[in-house]
Amino acid sequence: METADVKTNAAKDLSFFAGTKEGIPIALGYIPIAIAFGLLAKSVGLPNRISIIMSLLVFAGASQFVAVNLLALSSSSWEIILTTFIVNLRHLLMSASISQRIENRVTKGWRFLLSFGITDETFSIASLRPEEKLSPNFILGLNLISYSAWVGGTAIGVFLGAGLPKVVQNSMGIALYAMFIGLLIPNTRDSRQVFILVVLAMMINSLLNWVSLFNFLSAGWNIIITTIVAAMLGAIFFPEDGEE
Protein backbone atom coordinates (compact mmCIF):
# COMPACT_ATOMS: atom_id res chain seq x y z
CA MET A 1 0.00 0.00 0.00
CA GLU A 2 2.83 2.36 0.89
CA THR A 3 4.56 1.57 -2.41
CA ALA A 4 1.39 2.37 -4.36
CA ASP A 5 1.10 5.73 -2.55
CA VAL A 6 4.70 6.59 -3.43
CA LYS A 7 4.05 5.82 -7.10
CA THR A 8 0.88 7.93 -7.07
CA ASN A 9 2.70 10.89 -5.53
CA ALA A 10 5.53 10.56 -8.05
CA ALA A 11 3.04 10.52 -10.91
CA LYS A 12 1.47 13.76 -9.64
CA ASP A 13 4.78 15.63 -9.28
CA LEU A 14 4.61 17.99 -12.24
CA SER A 15 6.58 20.91 -10.83
CA PHE A 16 9.30 22.85 -12.63
CA PHE A 17 11.91 21.01 -10.55
CA ALA A 18 10.42 17.63 -11.50
CA GLY A 19 10.59 18.58 -15.18
CA THR A 20 14.19 19.70 -14.77
CA LYS A 21 15.07 16.43 -13.06
CA GLU A 22 13.43 14.41 -15.86
CA GLY A 23 15.42 16.42 -18.40
CA ILE A 24 18.86 15.74 -16.92
CA PRO A 25 19.49 12.58 -19.01
CA ILE A 26 18.48 14.50 -22.14
CA ALA A 27 20.77 17.40 -21.24
CA LEU A 28 23.70 15.04 -20.69
CA GLY A 29 23.05 13.48 -24.09
CA TYR A 30 22.72 16.84 -25.84
CA ILE A 31 26.04 18.26 -24.69
CA PRO A 32 28.33 16.01 -26.81
CA ILE A 33 26.05 16.37 -29.86
CA ALA A 34 26.02 20.15 -29.49
CA ILE A 35 29.81 20.13 -29.16
CA ALA A 36 29.97 18.12 -32.37
CA PHE A 37 27.71 20.70 -34.05
CA GLY A 38 29.96 23.52 -32.85
CA LEU A 39 33.01 21.71 -34.22
CA LEU A 40 31.32 21.12 -37.57
CA ALA A 41 30.15 24.73 -37.87
CA LYS A 42 33.64 25.98 -37.09
CA SER A 43 35.23 23.58 -39.57
CA VAL A 44 33.12 24.94 -42.46
CA GLY A 45 33.98 28.54 -41.59
CA LEU A 46 30.71 29.60 -39.96
CA PRO A 47 31.33 32.57 -37.62
CA ASN A 48 31.22 31.66 -33.92
CA ARG A 49 28.38 34.05 -33.14
CA ILE A 50 26.25 32.64 -35.99
CA SER A 51 26.72 29.08 -34.73
CA ILE A 52 25.57 30.05 -31.24
CA ILE A 53 22.68 32.19 -32.52
CA MET A 54 21.55 29.24 -34.63
CA SER A 55 21.35 27.05 -31.53
CA LEU A 56 19.59 29.84 -29.62
CA LEU A 57 16.93 30.47 -32.26
CA VAL A 58 16.56 27.14 -34.07
CA PHE A 59 17.22 24.53 -31.34
CA ALA A 60 16.87 21.55 -33.68
CA GLY A 61 19.90 19.34 -34.00
CA ALA A 62 19.06 17.54 -37.25
CA SER A 63 18.14 20.71 -39.16
CA GLN A 64 21.17 22.58 -37.82
CA PHE A 65 23.53 19.86 -39.03
CA VAL A 66 21.73 19.82 -42.39
CA ALA A 67 21.84 23.61 -42.68
CA VAL A 68 25.57 23.79 -41.94
CA ASN A 69 26.30 21.09 -44.53
CA LEU A 70 24.19 22.90 -47.12
CA LEU A 71 25.97 26.17 -46.33
CA ALA A 72 29.28 24.40 -46.88
CA LEU A 73 27.98 23.29 -50.31
CA SER A 74 26.99 26.91 -51.13
CA SER A 75 23.31 25.97 -51.43
CA SER A 76 20.76 28.72 -51.93
CA SER A 77 18.75 30.17 -49.06
CA TRP A 78 15.51 28.60 -50.31
CA GLU A 79 17.11 25.17 -50.58
CA ILE A 80 18.27 25.41 -46.98
CA ILE A 81 14.90 26.70 -45.73
CA LEU A 82 12.87 24.06 -47.57
CA THR A 83 15.15 21.17 -46.57
CA THR A 84 15.22 22.09 -42.89
CA PHE A 85 11.45 22.68 -42.95
CA ILE A 86 10.85 19.15 -44.25
CA VAL A 87 13.31 17.66 -41.75
CA ASN A 88 11.51 19.39 -38.86
CA LEU A 89 7.93 19.05 -40.08
CA ARG A 90 7.40 16.32 -37.50
CA HIS A 91 7.62 18.99 -34.80
CA LEU A 92 4.18 20.22 -35.87
CA LEU A 93 2.79 16.79 -35.02
CA MET A 94 4.63 16.59 -31.72
CA SER A 95 3.60 20.09 -30.64
CA ALA A 96 -0.03 19.42 -31.57
CA SER A 97 0.02 16.20 -29.55
CA ILE A 98 1.56 17.80 -26.45
CA SER A 99 -0.83 20.76 -26.74
CA GLN A 100 -3.74 18.40 -26.12
CA ARG A 101 -2.11 17.24 -22.89
CA ILE A 102 -1.41 20.71 -21.44
CA GLU A 103 -3.82 22.09 -18.84
CA ASN A 104 -6.66 24.07 -20.44
CA ARG A 105 -5.94 27.23 -18.42
CA VAL A 106 -2.60 27.76 -20.20
CA THR A 107 -2.66 30.77 -22.56
CA LYS A 108 -1.70 30.69 -26.25
CA GLY A 109 1.46 32.67 -25.48
CA TRP A 110 2.62 30.04 -23.02
CA ARG A 111 1.77 27.26 -25.47
CA PHE A 112 3.85 28.98 -28.14
CA LEU A 113 6.81 29.25 -25.76
CA LEU A 114 6.52 25.62 -24.66
CA SER A 115 6.23 24.38 -28.26
CA PHE A 116 9.58 25.98 -29.10
CA GLY A 117 11.35 23.65 -26.67
CA ILE A 118 9.77 20.41 -27.91
CA THR A 119 12.32 17.98 -29.36
CA ASP A 120 12.15 14.25 -30.10
CA GLU A 121 13.56 13.48 -26.67
CA THR A 122 11.50 15.94 -24.58
CA PHE A 123 8.41 14.81 -26.49
CA SER A 124 9.11 11.17 -25.61
CA ILE A 125 9.39 12.04 -21.91
CA ALA A 126 6.27 14.26 -21.85
CA SER A 127 4.05 12.04 -23.99
CA LEU A 128 4.76 8.93 -21.92
CA ARG A 129 3.81 10.56 -18.61
CA PRO A 130 0.83 8.79 -16.98
CA GLU A 131 -1.08 11.98 -16.19
CA GLU A 132 -3.98 13.00 -18.42
CA LYS A 133 -2.98 16.69 -18.20
CA LEU A 134 0.54 18.09 -17.92
CA SER A 135 1.61 21.18 -16.01
CA PRO A 136 3.26 23.93 -18.08
CA ASN A 137 5.85 24.25 -15.30
CA PHE A 138 6.88 20.63 -15.77
CA ILE A 139 7.26 21.02 -19.54
CA LEU A 140 9.12 24.31 -19.09
CA GLY A 141 11.63 22.67 -16.72
CA LEU A 142 12.04 19.72 -19.09
CA ASN A 143 12.58 21.99 -22.09
CA LEU A 144 14.74 24.59 -20.38
CA ILE A 145 17.46 22.26 -19.10
CA SER A 146 17.62 20.57 -22.52
CA TYR A 147 17.79 23.94 -24.30
CA SER A 148 20.50 25.21 -21.95
CA ALA A 149 22.59 22.08 -22.51
CA TRP A 150 22.27 22.42 -26.29
CA VAL A 151 23.26 26.08 -26.39
CA GLY A 152 26.05 25.56 -23.83
CA GLY A 153 27.37 22.54 -25.71
CA THR A 154 27.43 24.53 -28.94
CA ALA A 155 29.50 27.24 -27.26
CA ILE A 156 31.94 24.62 -25.94
CA GLY A 157 32.29 23.12 -29.41
CA VAL A 158 32.87 26.51 -30.99
CA PHE A 159 35.40 27.81 -28.48
CA LEU A 160 36.96 24.76 -26.83
CA GLY A 161 36.02 21.67 -28.85
CA ALA A 162 39.05 21.74 -31.11
CA GLY A 163 41.22 21.01 -28.07
CA LEU A 164 39.47 17.70 -27.36
CA PRO A 165 41.22 14.46 -28.34
CA LYS A 166 40.29 13.28 -31.84
CA VAL A 167 38.85 10.00 -30.57
CA VAL A 168 36.48 11.93 -28.28
CA GLN A 169 35.38 14.20 -31.13
CA ASN A 170 34.65 11.22 -33.40
CA SER A 171 32.63 9.40 -30.72
CA MET A 172 30.18 12.26 -30.17
CA GLY A 173 28.08 11.42 -33.21
CA ILE A 174 26.47 8.36 -31.63
CA ALA A 175 25.69 9.94 -28.25
CA LEU A 176 22.22 11.16 -29.25
CA TYR A 177 21.16 7.73 -30.53
CA ALA A 178 22.43 6.02 -27.39
CA MET A 179 20.55 8.52 -25.22
CA PHE A 180 17.29 8.07 -27.14
CA ILE A 181 17.54 4.27 -26.84
CA GLY A 182 18.18 4.68 -23.12
CA LEU A 183 15.01 6.76 -22.76
CA LEU A 184 12.93 4.38 -24.85
CA ILE A 185 13.86 0.96 -23.44
CA PRO A 186 12.35 1.44 -19.94
CA ASN A 187 9.02 2.46 -21.46
CA THR A 188 8.95 -0.48 -23.89
CA ARG A 189 9.64 -2.77 -20.95
CA ASP A 190 6.81 -1.35 -18.85
CA SER A 191 4.18 -0.99 -21.59
CA ARG A 192 3.17 -3.59 -24.15
CA GLN A 193 1.50 -0.91 -26.30
CA VAL A 194 4.65 1.20 -26.48
CA PHE A 195 6.73 -1.84 -27.39
CA ILE A 196 4.36 -2.85 -30.21
CA LEU A 197 4.22 0.71 -31.59
CA VAL A 198 8.02 1.01 -31.50
CA VAL A 199 8.35 -2.22 -33.48
CA LEU A 200 5.68 -1.07 -35.96
CA ALA A 201 7.43 2.28 -36.41
CA MET A 202 10.75 0.51 -37.04
CA MET A 203 9.12 -1.74 -39.64
CA ILE A 204 7.40 1.16 -41.42
CA ASN A 205 10.56 3.28 -41.51
CA SER A 206 12.65 0.33 -42.71
CA LEU A 207 10.12 -0.29 -45.48
CA LEU A 208 10.31 3.34 -46.61
CA ASN A 209 14.12 3.27 -46.59
CA TRP A 210 14.73 -0.09 -48.21
CA VAL A 211 11.98 -0.48 -50.81
CA SER A 212 13.05 1.18 -54.07
CA LEU A 213 9.47 2.37 -54.70
CA PHE A 214 9.95 4.99 -51.96
CA ASN A 215 13.43 6.17 -52.93
CA PHE A 216 12.08 9.56 -53.97
CA LEU A 217 11.18 10.36 -50.34
CA SER A 218 13.68 12.29 -48.22
CA ALA A 219 14.70 11.19 -44.72
CA GLY A 220 12.52 13.95 -43.29
CA TRP A 221 9.41 12.71 -45.11
CA ASN A 222 10.18 9.13 -44.06
CA ILE A 223 10.09 10.22 -40.42
CA ILE A 224 6.85 12.17 -40.91
CA ILE A 225 5.08 9.30 -42.69
CA THR A 226 6.31 6.80 -40.10
CA THR A 227 5.04 9.02 -37.28
CA ILE A 228 1.59 9.51 -38.84
CA VAL A 229 1.06 5.86 -39.76
CA ALA A 230 2.32 4.55 -36.39
CA ALA A 231 0.10 7.08 -34.56
CA MET A 232 -2.94 6.03 -36.62
CA LEU A 233 -2.30 2.36 -35.88
CA GLY A 234 -1.88 3.18 -32.20
CA ALA A 235 -5.19 5.05 -32.14
CA ILE A 236 -6.94 2.14 -33.87
CA PHE A 237 -5.50 -0.75 -31.87
CA PHE A 238 -4.93 0.96 -28.53
CA PRO A 239 -7.71 3.51 -27.94
CA GLU A 240 -7.17 5.69 -24.88
CA ASP A 241 -10.03 4.18 -22.90
CA GLY A 242 -9.27 0.62 -23.95
CA GLU A 243 -7.91 -2.16 -21.77
CA GLU A 244 -4.29 -3.19 -22.02
Q: Would you say 218 and 225 are in contact if contact means Cβ atoms under 8 Å apart?
A: no
Stretches where the chain sits below pLDDT 50 are 1-11, 241-244
Q: Can you give the pLDDT at residue 177?
A: 62
Q: Can you give the pLDDT at residue 66?
A: 79
Q: Can you give the pLDDT at residue 52?
A: 94
108 shares a domain with 22: yes
- Helix pair 77-87, 61-72: axis angle to 10 deg: 160
In tens, the pLDDT along 70-79 reads 787 777 787 7
User: 3-class secondary structure for the chain?
Assistant: CHHHHHHHHHHHCCCHHHHHHHHHHHHHHHHHHHHHHHHHHHHCCCCHHHHHHHHHHCCCHHHHHHHHHHHHCCCCHHHHHHHHHHHCCHHHHHHHHHHHHECCCCCHHHHHHHHHCCCHHHHHHHHCCCCCCECHHHHHHHHHHHHHHHHHHHHHHHHCHHHCCHHHHHHHHHHHHHHHHHHHHHHHHHCHHHHHHHHHHHHHHHHHHHCHHHCCCCHHHHHHHHHHHHHHHHHHHCCCCCCC
Q: Can you give the pLDDT at residue 240?
A: 59
Q: Would you say 51 and 154 are in contact if contact means Cβ atoms under 8 Å apart?
A: yes
Q: Can you give the pLDDT at residue 4?
A: 45
35 shares a domain with 143: yes
Compute the CA torsion angle 55, 57, 62, 65 (nearest 10 deg).
-50
Q: Would you say 121 and 143 are in contact if contact means Cβ atoms under 8 Å apart?
A: no
In a domain, 182, yes or no: no
Tally the domains of the chain.
Answer: 2
203 shares a domain with 170: no
131 shares a domain with 170: yes
Q: Can you give the pLDDT at residue 19?
A: 92
pTM (predicted TM-score): 0.69
In a domain, 206, yes or no: yes
222 shares a domain with 147: no
Beta bridge partners of 134: 102
In tens, the pLDDT along 161-210 reads 666 666 666 666 565 566 567 667 776 777 788 788 888 888 988 998 88
Q: Can you give the pLDDT at residue 56?
A: 94
* Domain carrying residue 119: 2-175
61 shares a domain with 137: yes
Domain boundary among 151, 175, 199: 175
Q: Can you give the pLDDT at residue 146?
A: 95
207 shares a domain with 169: no
